[in-house]
Amino acid sequence: MADPNPSDSRILRIWDSFKSRIPEIWSSISVPVVAVIISLLIGAIILLISGSNPLRAYGALLEGALGDAGGIRRTLEKATPLIFSGLAVAFAFKAGLFNIGAQGQLIFGALVASIVGFGISGIPAIIHVPLALIAGATAGALYGAIPGALRTFTGAHEVITTIMLNYIALNITDYLANGPLKDPTPGNIVARTPKIFDSAVIPDLPFIEWLPLGFVVACLMASITWWLLWRTTLGYEIRTVGQNPNAARYAGMRVAQTVILTMVISGLLAGLGGAVETQGIVYRFQPGFNVNLGFDGITIALLGKTSPFGVIPAALLVGAMRAGASQMQFRADVATEIIDVIQAIILFLVAADMIIRWIIRQRAAAGDGISLSSGWGSNS
């Protein structure tokens, strides 16, 4: 495109167009890449100070996360629920809503998917798997609707209500798993539901053993979310409401309805994440599992700059670090908390991208920074 002389060969043309795009591509990935490198360096300094060997630690981390097919699978499995909860939080951010409640929506999704999984038998997997997934997603959506409706009809701030709803969800699910839904298998003393039937378990893909199907579903949902936000009227309304609720109202948009619908979709994404976790990893609902996955969604959404496609690499990065954490602790005797420190520094550097751009001498594109907390201060 930038080449003034038209080339003869098509391949050359493509190459030229690619070449002309390199700065653009570099500009979009340079900040995260450099951020990760700097964070690893700072992490290395901390490891050195406390007398550990950073190379050995990072080597073990990498080996655990990507060393073999099992490691890659574990990384993808860890990334899957993070993508879902990251999408849930990012989606709500677009409408100016801060959904701290992804955790509650996720565990309700996980619980309901398990109920459908062990409660219904004798149907083929092709029906049972999607049925349980849909049930989990619906549970999350309904639970997400509560703060949306409260916000719209009473003005109760979603930050308060979602924090409260998280605790409520925790109490209810704990009670159910230790009471009416407790696994009746003889000798069982553990608070957990029965195991789901094999027909509700998300099957493996043929031939590609390292790729969990749940991860594919997660990526699919990211694409759908992107499409919804950027290619539909609803998405346009959601973004407008997020940027300027008054303008949205002036333009005749149904702000109240949009707020509720946003929370419903956000909850649906989180609930589906819980269902995938139940049907793909845990095979039942058990207190002590699914801890913090919803809260992690906040970090993932921010790392991914609240974009549906940004969420995927962010979740992969964090997923890989978690998948390799045990290996690192085992082989290099390093406390796994170092990962949190590295993660915090990455997040800081990605957000404060001007620091990195100054280091690599790159100008920021207009409107490149992330801004979402203006949504917190909406005065509706």
Radius of gyration of the chain (CA): 22
Q: Return the half-sphere exposure (C-beta side, CA atoms, 13 A cut-off) of residue 119.
A: 14
Compute the distance between CA of residue 189 and CA of residue 193 in angstroms, rounded to an integer.
11
Residue 154 in the binding site for other proteins (CB under 8 A): yes
Of residues 90-149, those binding other proteins (CB under 8 A): 98, 100
Instruction: For residue 268, give the nearest of 88, 78, 83 by alpha carbon.
Output: 88
Compute the distance between CA of residue 135 and CA of residue 117 in angstroms, rounded to an integer.
10
Among 18, 167, 227, 230, binds other proteins (CB under 8 A): 167
In the complex with other proteins, the residue whose CB is nearer, 12 or 160, is: 160
> Measuring CA to CA, how many Å separate 277 from each of 101, 102, 202, 211, 353?
17, 14, 10, 15, 33
Closest contact distance (angstroms) between CB of 98 and other proteins is: 7
Closest contact distance (angstroms) between CB of 69 and other proteins is: 13
Among 88, 133, 150, 269, binds other proteins (CB under 8 A): 150
Closest contact distance (angstroms) between CB of 288 and other proteins is: 4
**Which range, of 16-24, 167-175, 200-208, 268-276, touches other proteins by CB under 8 A?**
167-175
Closest contact distance (angstroms) between CB of 2 and other proteins is: 29
Closest contact distance (angstroms) between CB of 131 and other proteins is: 23
Of residues 310-329, those binding other proteins (CB under 8 A): 322, 325-327, 329
Q: Return the half-sphere exposure (C-beta side, CA atoms, 13 A cut-off) of residue 241.
A: 28
Compute the distance between CA of residue 136 and CA of residue 134 in angstroms, rounded to an integer.
5
DSSP 280: I
> What is the total residue count of the chain?
380
Site map (CB under 8 A) of other proteins, residues 235-274, x = contact: -----------x----------------------------
Residue 28 in the binding site for other proteins (CB under 8 A): no
Beta bridge partners of 137: none
Residue 224 in the binding site for other proteins (CB under 8 A): no
Residue 304 in the binding site for other proteins (CB under 8 A): no
In the complex with other proteins, the residue whose CB is nearer, 272 or 332, is: 332
In the complex with other proteins, the residue whose CB is nearer, 82 or 200, is: 82
Compute the distance between CA of residue 266 and CA of residue 152 in angstroms, rounded to an integer.
16
* Lookup result for tokens 């100008």: 363
Residue 225 in the binding site for other proteins (CB under 8 A): no
Residue 193 in the binding site for other proteins (CB under 8 A): no
> Measuring CA to CA, how many Å separate 18 from each of 3, 6, 291, 343?
11, 15, 44, 32
Residue 79 in the binding site for other proteins (CB under 8 A): no
State the sign of the Cα–Cα–Cα–Cα dihedral 339, 44, 323, 216: positive
Among 44, 79, 255, 269, binds other proteins (CB under 8 A): 44
Instruction: For residue 214, give the nearest of 276, 285, 158, 256 by alpha carbon.
Output: 276
Q: What are phi and psi of 40, to 5 degrees?
A: -65, -35
Of residues 328-367, those binding other proteins (CB under 8 A): 329-331, 335-345, 347-348, 351-352, 354-355, 358-359
Among 122, 124, 184, 186, binds other proteins (CB under 8 A): 186
Residue 69 in the binding site for other proteins (CB under 8 A): no
Residue 379 in the binding site for other proteins (CB under 8 A): yes
